């Protein structure tokens, strides 16, 4: 993999990286974030004790505005850390609602670069856009996130557009962060060989490749186009129009969406939107992306989802997208179904069928271990059940039971965490997985229907099948000559 070669670092950087990791670790602890984790009792007693000791030694007694202090630290550390903070901002179950609200600045309210630089970038990418096609251009950005900022303009035909431009030197900065993350995972794998099966460094490779692809805005435009094609017939989910004639690698021009953030409950209520309907639409869309299409939005924090006047969901950022093969989707569908039905023997069975278990592993003991970690999570009130957290707990069994961790699920798990967090923020009484269950059950039935399987086989091999008459004719011609 090309990304792996690019992430490789010279050995002389190891002492520098080690010192850097200690400094970053202390900076984060000084924000007081460990105190939040301890209060919310997210970890088991052993880990909680370690956190208390670290908090006592390095922590800050001032527990005010922890989220703001953590935001400032992550912003100063770089764009890779900002992405980590964006994911955390959707998890009030871990950090609490107040801290998550303070972290929301990372979702599009960062300090922008200067207006003059923005105009220079646009002119360099497509001078005709400013000079000939725009009737007006707002130099003040409406959003500024980890890798880009967005301006608005009005085309001469009256259509309002959003103009997304990459930040200067962003590739270098983001790559620097991922190189450090790669070193950190390699360091842990060297110090603790038993965690190699978690494939942490492989996960960094996957996330690095996905995130660095985000820096080519033509790829983002292509992803938006594919997503729009997949949902062209959906009445409540719409992708903004892409203006390909103006889009380049460093600039994306798309339809401006006048909408309300999905987590802005006051504005949604004032506009008389139905929160229950929004939750149901979001759940259905997530299911269709993951299971029907195997192509899903990989950055589902609330800042990337708007609600228009009709109540439709509008995604506005397509830089990070994920893919799953049909085999991966079938495994995931069965896994979620068996977990929701508390059929732990079947959970073990599908891991074994997927060749994810080591030899001589006791299926009975693994089933009991999965039951032990699943029961406390699945027995919670319906709005607090987190299948994404449960999948993470199952991954934690990999060391003991020699489970082969699959890197392709890394981005999906992150997306699941964001989707759950967003759903919980806007409607705490709804469990998206209970809403998804009938959809998943139907999908499993359809994909295992022998007539459906045969139909898909014919579709995939249509070109080869059309050549059969030609092949028969040639064989007949050869035989007739003999």
- The catalytic site residues sit at 299
* Nearest-angstrom CA–CA distance, 136 and 161: 10
Start-to-end CA distance of the chain, whole Å, equals: 51
DSSP 138-195: EEEEEEE-SSEEEEEEEETTS-EEEEEEEPTTHHHHHHHHHHHHHHHHHHHHHH-GGG
Q: Do the beta carbons of residue 392 and residue 339 sit within 8 Å?
A: no
Q: CA-CA distances (angstroms) from residue 349 to 174, 370, 388?
A: 40, 12, 20
Q: What angle (nearest 5°) sits at the alpha carbon of residue 324, between those of residues 321 and 330?
A: 145
Q: Which residues of 161-195 are buried (b: 16+ CB within 10 A; e: fewer)?
A: bbbbbbbeebeeebbebbbbbbbbbbbebeeeeee
Phi/psi for 322 (5° steps) reads: -120, 155
Q: Do the beta carbons of residue 370 and residue 348 sit within 8 Å?
A: yes
Q: Do the beta carbons of residue 403 and residue 198 sit within 8 Å?
A: no
User: Parallel, antiparallel, or unpaired: how do β-strands 251-255 and 260-261 relate?
Assistant: unpaired
- Cα 274 from chain centroid (whole Å): 26
Beta strand spans in 66-133 (E): none
């Amino acid at each position: 993999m090309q990304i792996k070669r690019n992430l490789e670092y010279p050995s002389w950087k190891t002492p520098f990286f080690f010192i850097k990791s200690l400094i970053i670790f202390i900076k984060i602890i000084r924000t007081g974030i460990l105190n939040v984790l301890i209060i919310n009792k997210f970890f088991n007693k052993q880990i909680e004790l370690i956190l208390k000791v670290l908090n006592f030694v390095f922590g800050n007694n001032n527990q005010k505005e922890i989220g703001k202090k953590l935001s400032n630290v992550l912003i100063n550390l770089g764009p890779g850390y900002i992405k980590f903070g964006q994911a955390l901002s959707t998890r009030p179950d871990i950090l609490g609602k107040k801290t998550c609200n303070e972290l929301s600045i990372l979702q599009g309210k960062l300090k922008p670069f200067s207006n003059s630089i923005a105009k220079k970038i646009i002119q360099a990418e497509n001078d005709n856009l400013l000079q000939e096609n725009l009737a007006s251009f707002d130099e003040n950005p409406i959003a500024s996130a980890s890798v880009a900022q967005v301006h608005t303009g009005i085309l001469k035909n009256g259509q309002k557009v959003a103009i997304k431009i990459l930040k200067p030197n962003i590739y270098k900065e983001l790559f620097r962060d991922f190189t450090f993350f790669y070193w950190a995972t390699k360091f842990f794998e060297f110090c603790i060989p038993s965690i190699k099966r978690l494939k942490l460094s492989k996960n960094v490779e996957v996330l690095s490749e996905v995130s660095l692809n985000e820096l080519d805005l033509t790829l983002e435009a292509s992803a938006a186009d594919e997503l729009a094609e997949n949902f062209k017939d959906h009445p409540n989910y719409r992708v903004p129009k892409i203006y390909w004639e103006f889009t380049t690698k460093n600039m994306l021009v798309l339809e401006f969406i006048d909408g309300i953030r999905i987590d802005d409950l006051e504005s949604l209520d004032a506009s008389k939107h139905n929160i229950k309907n929004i939750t149901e639409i979001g759940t259905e869309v997530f299911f269709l992306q993951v299971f029907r299409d195997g192509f899903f939005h990989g950055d589902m924090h609330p800042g990337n989802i708007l609600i228009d006047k009709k109540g439709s969901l509008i995604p506005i950022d397509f830089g990070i997208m994920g893919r799953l093969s049909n085999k991966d989707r079938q495994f995931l569908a069965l896994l979620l179904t068996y977990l929701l039905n508390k059929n732990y023997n079947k959970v073990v069975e599908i891991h074994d069928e997927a060749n994810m278990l080591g030899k001589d592993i006791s299926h009975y003991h693994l089933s009991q271990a999965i039951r032990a970690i699943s029961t406390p999570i699945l027995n919670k009130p319906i709005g607090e059940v987190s299948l994404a957290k449960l999948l993470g707990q199952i991954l934690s069994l990999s060391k003991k039971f020699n489970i082969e961790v699959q890197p392709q699920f890394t981005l999906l798990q992150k997306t699941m965490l964001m989707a759950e967090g967003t759903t919980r923020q806007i409607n705490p009484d709804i469990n998206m997985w209970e809403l998804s269950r009938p959809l998943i059950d139907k999908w499993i039935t359809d994909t295992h229907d022998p007539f459906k399987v045969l139909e898909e086989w014919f579709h995939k091999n249509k070109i080869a099948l059309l050549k059969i008459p030609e092949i028969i004719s040639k064989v007949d011609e050869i035989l007739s000559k003999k």
